[in-house]
Amino acid sequence: MSRIWCNTRNKRCAQGVYICRLETRMRILRVAVVAISTLFPMSLAFCCSCSYGPPIQKTLQRKRERAVFTAHIVQPIGEIANQDGQRLSNRVLAIVHERYWGLPWYWPKVVILDGGYQCGTVMAIGEDYLVSGARERYGVLAVDGCSRTGPLKSAQLDLRTLDGSHCAAPGGTVIGYVRKGNDEFRGDHPIAADVSVRLRDQDDKTFTAQSDGDGIYELHHLATGAYAVESLVSQGQYASSAGVSVVEGQCMEMPVFLKDYSLRGRLLPRLNATVELVGGNAPLKHIGSDSIEPDGRFYFRNVPDGEYILSVTTWIGAASDFYYPGTFDRPKATRVRITNHMLAGGQTLDFNPEALPMVPVPVTLDPPTDSGRFSWRVLLSSNNTLQEGRWASGTKFVSLYGMRGASYSLGLFGDSNHPLEYGNCRSGLTPVVATPGMATIHVAVPPSCQ
């Protein structure tokens, strides 16, 4: 059975699962027709998932190439569905209100918004929308699910960044909503006003901003590079966010969700791992953590009372899972007793980095800038184990993880930014031994790729 993914971008998925079902239902009909005609089974079509990126800003070239305006949705011309008394469709007629850019003066005041593509958009009849559309033909605009087209009432962030003044250099801007809710993929979440958001850069410098009455926080003129939110907010609450890479002269969105927890612990920053509480009685209970944040902290919520061991699974060549407080020998794992969903005395399950079997392998691109022809990845491999790190714009270094004392091969791979003009690029391999406190490894772009 195919998995069904749903686009939760920009409150367009405030209807969440419903929109996914609507778009899936529309596509099932088309898939069925094709399947009948070809006599081959076909998987169900899927809804799309969009990552957070730059909000709408006129100073950004790819945003200037679109038509940006506000409009009132007046009539469906595609398939109609109803939810809670509201009619929805992925093809609609809309009356243009305020034109910001990209919509020629000679275009009609009534336009067609076509969201009927694979990554389409479902719009509510009778609602005002902020539209970011690609001009298809006279009077018709395509509004894909990653375009940031959405209800005007929930577009305060994009309205704030429209002219680019909030995104001006020097440095870049991190901007985002702070909302309350343990599941950001379902429904609307109330805004969290007057909440302190703390970001940390790769040099361990911290930057703090306060969310305003709209639940929006902003940090201006940050140096380019990677930033992550400090997740621990208070006893019982944490801030969940995937982090962001700051780009010179741009606004980058980083949403923050305030979530509840009853049990927490800490591993290593940006370690790709799965953390589970495993019950001691048969059949064993496997309770995965609700979240592992970029700062290395993991959180559980409402764990049933009982006795458990804490298990960590990684994909960096470990012989098996390892257990709290830091052993591969399961019988030697410390038993964790949960009472009233918590550890006794509010204790935490923090791992001692010195006892962990993996160590960071820091790598820097030297020099840090290149011609811009490639998007660079660093690959750390050993037998059938492969790790990958990427340099975003302005990122100073990436940190991979290796098993303590293990040998690896490290190489640089450049993905062509213009594959029709030139191909990808590979560097030679550098032997590496993962040791605690190892110095940063400097890798250079091959001369043939500069």
Least reliable range by pLDDT among 18-27, 257-266, 417-426 = 18-27
Least reliable range by pLDDT among 52-61, 308-317, 358-367, 390-399 = 390-399
d(CA 12, CA 115): 12
Class of domain 358-449: mainly beta
Helix (H, G, I), strand (E, B) or coil at 27: helix
d(CA 289, CA 335): 17
- CA torsion angle for 336, 337, 339, 344 (degrees, to 10)? -80
* Interval 223-237 mean pLDDT: 92
pLDDT at 16 over 50: no
Same fold yes or no, 264-355 and 358-449: yes
DSSP H or E stretch at residue 22: helix 17-38
pLDDT at 13 over 50: no
pLDDT at 11 over 80: no
Least reliable range by pLDDT among 183-192, 199-208, 319-328 = 183-192
pLDDT at 120 over 60: yes
- Residue with token string 């190439």: 65
pLDDT category of residue 177 using cuts at 50, 70 and 90:
very high
pTM: 0.80
Mean predicted lDDT score pLDDT of the chain = 82
* Interval 30-35 mean pLDDT: 32
CA distances from 137 to 69, 75, 111, 140 (A): 17, 19, 11, 5
In this predicted model, what pLDDT tens digit does every residue of 272-309 receive, in sequence order? Answer: 889 999 985 656 788 999 999 999 999 999 898 888 99
In this predicted model, what pLDDT tens digit does every residue of 369-389 receive, in sequence order? Answer: 667 788 888 888 887 677 777
Fold of 264-355: Immunoglobulin-like (2.60.40)
CATH code of domain 165-260: 2.60.40.10
- Residue with token string 């703090």: 208
Residue 231: the pLDDT is 96
pLDDT category of residue 420 using cuts at 50, 70 and 90:
confident
d(CA 243, CA 28): 36
Give Rg (Cα) of the chain: 25
Residue 202: the pLDDT is 84
Best CA proximity match to 277, nearest among 289, 265, 269:
289
As its CATH architecture, domain 9-157 has: Beta Barrel (2.40)
For the chain, the structural domain boundaries read: 9-157, 165-260, 264-355, 358-449
d(CA 63, CA 405): 48
